[in-house]
Amino acid sequence: MHEKKRNRQVKQMSRRAVDALFQALYLLTDIRFLLRETAPDHELDDEQKVRAGKAIEKLKKQVTILEEELS
Amino acid sequence: MKCTATIDTREVEELYVNIDPIQAGGRLTVDAQKAAIAYSDGYSVCDNCLKPFRLDYINKPPIAEFHRDCAEWLNMDAVRLVPGARRGFQAVASSLVEKGDPVLLTALSHYTEFASLEQAGADIHEVPKDDRNHITAENTAARIEEVTREAGKAPSLLFVEHVDYQYGNVHEIAEIAKVAHQYDIPVLLNGAYSVGIMPVDGKALGVDFIIGSGHKSMAAPAPSGIVATTHEYENIVFRTTQAKGDITGRTFGIKEVEMMGCTLMGVTAVGLVASFPAVKERVLHWDREVENANRVVDALCAIEGTRVESDMPREHTLTRINTLDSFDMVAKTHKKKGFFLSQSLKKKGIIGVIPGSTRVWKYNTYGLTDAQIAHVCRAFQDIAQENGLNVQ
């Protein structure tokens, strides 16, 4: 199948929603690993708090995309 | 929390510090965890499998590249993915051992090494460990002589552990391999506790096969592992099928007999491949891991009556500890008996010590952060003091 045709089909299936879904899962995985490396107390240092904050902000954006695409 | 109606969510790595002796090196990296999400379906790595249709030829995801890089990283000539170290033992034993052949493994060998040789019909003999719980070249040479005399021919294969599962001791592999080769005996290195966590150089060690465990030491999902070999043996262990259907006339191209065609076809393969860059990086920091292992050992040995049965100072993160005269003394009168230790540890956020163990037990500190190491040290000493043991 030609690349252009395939891309058109992908677009119809909401590439944006699928990308947002996986991006959100990967961001959640980053947060999961923050929990792992700070177990058992989960007392985050300043650098870890920044990482957590950034991941959560990015996650919110992906959830917003999912809301836009799927509602 | 439930994962499904009948399966609990596994959240031990998020809630606790896990010092289980066999789990430490197999915890996934963040990249492997992400790859596992994307490639969770059965034949997920096969989307772009093109002619000649074999796992180690797949370029997307980069499984072919992994095979090349892994061989180079181990300083060997060829690598294949296998479903766990045991399947690597099995492939080599099946290729090199004829029924009735004498073979050698060691007094510290894992049961799967025995099973793979038994399956090949081998006449199995052990090399004894010495007083320090080490397998030595001297004992190996003596045992080769004995077995050769008894069997009338030299062993066809020697299995030896780089790091054994009982003590976590590092053995003198280069010297052992040199001795074995003087008798033309090929050497298989069981690297289940070394490949992926500490530097391993096949040529420097002089071994003919290296077996690694993905889920034990390469931060990969189970069951996964690798078998690596040299040009001398790759066409033997990785020989392609010659089978032909007598009715259909079918042949099966370049499928490898011992690999049963393809081996890891989904999340196991992609997890191992995804972790590989981080695994290569982490072995460079092995000295830090050993330093951490010694911090915990020092903390435990400060508890009166506690001694280490593994080599000291530690050269590996897997450690066998004897607390017969410390925690086991507490267990004798404690209302929870031997379970007090694992339960007390759990209350302090630590798991991995077998419930009920207070005599001789093992733990592994691999991969813990400095803060987690400090937490483990403090927890053991606090539990000792809370139960009336002296801490120096």
pLDDT band of residue B273 (cuts 50, 70, 90) is very high
**Residue B1 at interface with chain A, using a CB cutoff of 8 Å:** no
The answer to whether residues B251 and B293 belong to one domain is no
Q: Would the CB atoms of A32 and B14 count as touching at under 8 Å? A: yes
> Å from B16 to nearest chain A CA?
5
Q: Which chain B residues contact residue A39 at CB under 8 A?
A: 13-17, 349, 372
Task: Out of B236, B265, B294, pick the residue that ends a domain.
Answer: B265
Q: Quick check: is B275 in a domain? A: no
Measured distance CA(B392)–CA(B370) in Å, rounded = 22
pLDDT band at B138 (very low <50, low <70, confident <90, very high): very high
What CATH number corresponds to the domain at position B340?
3.90.1150.10
At CB < 8 Å, which residues of chain A contact B? 22, 25-26, 29-30, 32-33, 35-41
CA B85 – CA B223 distance, rounded (Å): 8
pLDDT of residue A14: 87
Average pLDDT over residues B127-134: 98
**Same domain flag for B312 and B255:** no
The residue out of B230, B265, B300 marking a domain boundary is B265
Averaged pLDDT, B288-300: 98
Whether B234 and B315 map to the same domain: the answer is no
CB contact at 8 A, B319 and B297: yes
What are the residue ranges of helices labelled H in chain B? 12-15, 30-38, 63-73, 85-96, 111-119, 137-151, 173-182, 202-205, 214-217, 231-237, 267-282, 286-301, 327-333, 339-347, 370-386
Task: Encode pLDDT of B359-387 as tens digits.
Answer: 999 999 999 999 999 999 999 999 999 99
Is B33 touching A (CB cutoff 8 A)?
yes
Question: In chain A, what are the domain boundaries?
Answer: 3-70
B194 located within any domain: yes
CA-based nearest residue to B36, from A25, A7, A41, A44 = A25
Whether B372 sits inside 8 A of A30 (CB atoms) is no
Read off the tokens for B229.
């070999």
Yes or no, beta carbons of B371 and A32 under 8 Å apart? no
Interval B51-84: pLDDT, tens: 999 999 999 999 999 999 999 999 999 999 999 9
Residue B127 has pLDDT above 80, yes or no: yes
3-state secondary structure of B232: helix
Cβ contact B231:B78 at 8 Å: yes
How many C-beta atoms lie closer than 10 Å to residue B147's C-beta? 22
Whole-number pLDDT of residue B23: 98
Find the distance separating the first CA and the last CA of chain B, reported in whole Å.
Answer: 41
Boundaries of domain holding B105: 50-265
Minimal-distance CA residue of chain B relative to A40: B16
Tell me the CATH number at B201: 3.40.640.10
SS3 B210: strand
- Record the pTM: 0.96
Of the candidates B271, B273, B197, B259, which has an alpha carbon nearest to the alpha carbon of residue B229?
A: B259
Q: How confident is the model at residue B210 (pLDDT cuts 50, 70, 90)?
A: very high
Listed in sequence order, the residues at least 6 apart from B39 whose beta carbon sits closer than 8 Å to its beta carbon are B45, B61, B266, B267, B270, B271
Give the model's pLDDT for residue B197.
Answer: 98
Whether residue B290 is found in the same domain as residue B243: no
Q: What percent of chain B clears pLDDT 70, i.e. is strictly above it?
A: 100
- Both tokens of B45, joined, read 């790595």
Residue with tokens 């038994």, as numbered in its chain: B118
CB contact under 8 A, A40 and B30: no
Residues B149 and B92 in one domain: yes
Q: What angle do CA A25, A30, A31 make, to 5 degrees?
A: 95
Asked if B213 and B69 sit in the same domain, the reply is yes
Q: Is residue B40 part of a domain?
A: no
CB–CB contact B349 A39 (8 Å)? yes
Same domain, yes or no, for B95 and B232?
A: yes
Residues B227 and B296 in one domain: no
User: Does the structure show a pLDDT above 60 at A1?
Assistant: no
Tell me how many domains chain B contains. Answer: 2
Domain assignment present for B209: yes
Percent of chain A topping pLDDT 70: 82
Q: B interface mutation test: which of A36, A41, A46 has the most B CBs within 10 A?
A: A36
Q: Which residues of B353-383 are buried (b: 16+ CB within 10 A; e: fewer)?
A: beebbbeebbbbbbbbeeebbebbbebbbeb
Q: With a cut of 0.90, is the ipTM above it?
A: yes
pLDDT band of B101, cuts 50, 70, 90: very high
Indicate the burial class of B247 (C-beta count within 10 angstroms; 0-12, 13-18, 19 or more): exposed
Choose among B17, B27, B30: nearest Cβ to A40: B17
Q: Are residues B113 and B180 in the same domain?
A: yes
Q: Does B33 sit within 8 Å of A39, measured CB to CB?
A: no
**How far does the CA of residue A22 sit from the closest CA of chain B (Å)?**
8
Examine the pLDDT at A5 and tell me if it is beyond 90: no
> CA of B12: which chain A residue's CA is closest?
A36
Best mutation target, A6, A22, A27, A29, to test chain B (most B CBs within 10 A)? A29
A22/B15 CB distance under 8 A? no
pLDDT digits (tens, 9 = 90+) for B311-353: 999 999 999 999 999 999 999 999 999 999 999 999 999 999 9
Shared domain check, B173 and B80? yes
A33, A37, A39 member nearest B15 (Cβ): A39
Q: Are strands B17-18 and B350-351 parallel, antiparallel or unpaired?
A: parallel
In whole angstroms, what is the distance from residue B278 CA to residue B29 CA? 7
Asked if B260 and B310 sit in the same domain, the reply is no
